[in-house]
């Protein structure tokens, strides 16, 4: 991929001898750290402790990163089977958030079982952090010049530093990373404002809101992207997004109709 040579931001933030620290990693770690802090603050409201959250994250974060990469590599195996040395190079981009969500959820249910924690409590606690982590993490895609849309003639509605970084392969590109970042940040704000103000919220309904909200945001944004993972003529992330929305709605309806606590 030929980037605009003079204006593109260097994806390496810092070099220390033979070691390089990539902006992508900085955004991922920053988003995760803020998410953990928020979860630790919320945990006592659900009868959990900050140690419960931290212990979960120590297991979930590295496994989720593996899931992010493994999901992407699996659907791009035609390329990676010919370039096996690049399989672990997550820092160069090429990840799928759904792989991380699936891996993190599996760890959460196993962790909850062994700690005798209601998994719905841990899910509700984690959701705001997941949303803010996604909002921040998408800026790693911005630095790596990935997760963008079709070519357009201009992007005058954006600040110059975004316009310049979105000049890829000789044309400006729709900044779908930005749309998803705004969408997830908006979902984060909604939860933070209303989660303790809405009467009668049941366990798991904050998590269900996440399924619906992020499913809708991702379904829309994915339709604009040019780098979607495909299953035949279908965009895999749109399929998964639709299933998330259906699952979230079904969860709320079942809990309300069955009158579960």
The two structure tokens encoding residue 184: 């997830």
pLDDT in tens, 36-56: 999 999 999 999 999 999 999
Judged by DSSP in three states, 235 sits in strand
Cα separation, 161 vs 58, in Å, equals 35
The two structure tokens encoding residue 118: 């209601």
**CA quadruple 249, 251, 254, 259: dihedral sign:** negative
Phi, psi of 13 (to 5 degrees): -80, -35
Judged by DSSP in three states, 88 sits in coil
User: Which residues participate in the annotated binding site?
Assistant: 138
Judged by DSSP in three states, 101 sits in helix
Residue 224, classified by CB atoms within 10 Å of its CB into exposed (0-12), middle (13-18) or buried (19+), is: middle
Judged by DSSP in three states, 3 sits in strand
The two structure tokens encoding residue 248: 């979230």
> What single DSSP character describes residue 91?
G
Tell me the angle at which helices 205-222 and 236-257 cross, rounded to the nearest 10 degrees. 150
Residue among 43, 42, 46 nearest 203 (CA): 46
3-state secondary structure 5-44: CCCCCCCEEEEECCEEEEHHHHHHHHHHHHHHHHHHHHHH
pLDDT in tens, 72-86: 898 888 888 888 888
Phi, psi of 26 (to 5 degrees): -60, -45
Low-confidence winner among 15-19, 150-154, 180-184, 217-221 (lowest mean pLDDT): 15-19
Band (93; pLDDT cuts 50, 70, 90):
low
**Residues 6 or more apart in contact with residue 42 via CB below 8 angstroms:** 125, 128
The answer to pTM > 0.85 is yes
Region 109-129: what's the mean pLDDT? Answer: 96
Region 112-141: what's the mean pLDDT? Answer: 95
């Amino acid at each position: 991929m030929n980037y605009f040579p003079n204006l593109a931001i260097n994806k390496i933030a810092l070099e220390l001898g033979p070691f390089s620290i990539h902006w992508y990693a900085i955004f991922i770690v920053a988003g995760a750290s803020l998410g953990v802090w928020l979860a630790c603050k919320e945990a006592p409201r659900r009868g959990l402790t900050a140690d419960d959250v931290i212990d979960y994250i120590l297991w979930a974060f590295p496994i989720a990163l593996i899931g992010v990469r493994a999901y992407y590599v699996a659907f791009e195996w035609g390329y990676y089977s010919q370039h096996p040395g690049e399989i672990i190079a997550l820092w160069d981009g090429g990840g799928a958030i759904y792989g991380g969500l699936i891996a993190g959820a599996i760890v959460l249910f196993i962790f909850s079982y062994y700690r005798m924690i209601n998994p719905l409590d841990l899910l509700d606690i984690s959701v705001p952090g997941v949303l803010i982590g996604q909002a921040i993490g998408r800026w790693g895609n911005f630095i790596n010049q990935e997760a963008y849309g079709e070519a357009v003639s201009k992007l005058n509605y954006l600040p110059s530093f975004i316009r310049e970084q979105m000049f890829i392969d000789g044309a400006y590109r729709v900044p779908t990373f930005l749309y998803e970042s705004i969408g997830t940040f908006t979902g984060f704000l909604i939860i933070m404002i209303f989660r303790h103000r809405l009467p009668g919220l049941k366990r798991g309904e904050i998590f269900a809101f996440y399924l619906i909200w992020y499913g809708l945001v991702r379904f829309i944004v994915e339709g604009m992207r040019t780098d979607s993972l495909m299953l035949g003529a279908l965009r895999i992330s749109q399929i998964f997004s639709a299933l998330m929305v259906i699952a979230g709605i079904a969860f709320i309806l079942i809990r309300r109709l069955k009158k579960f606590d």
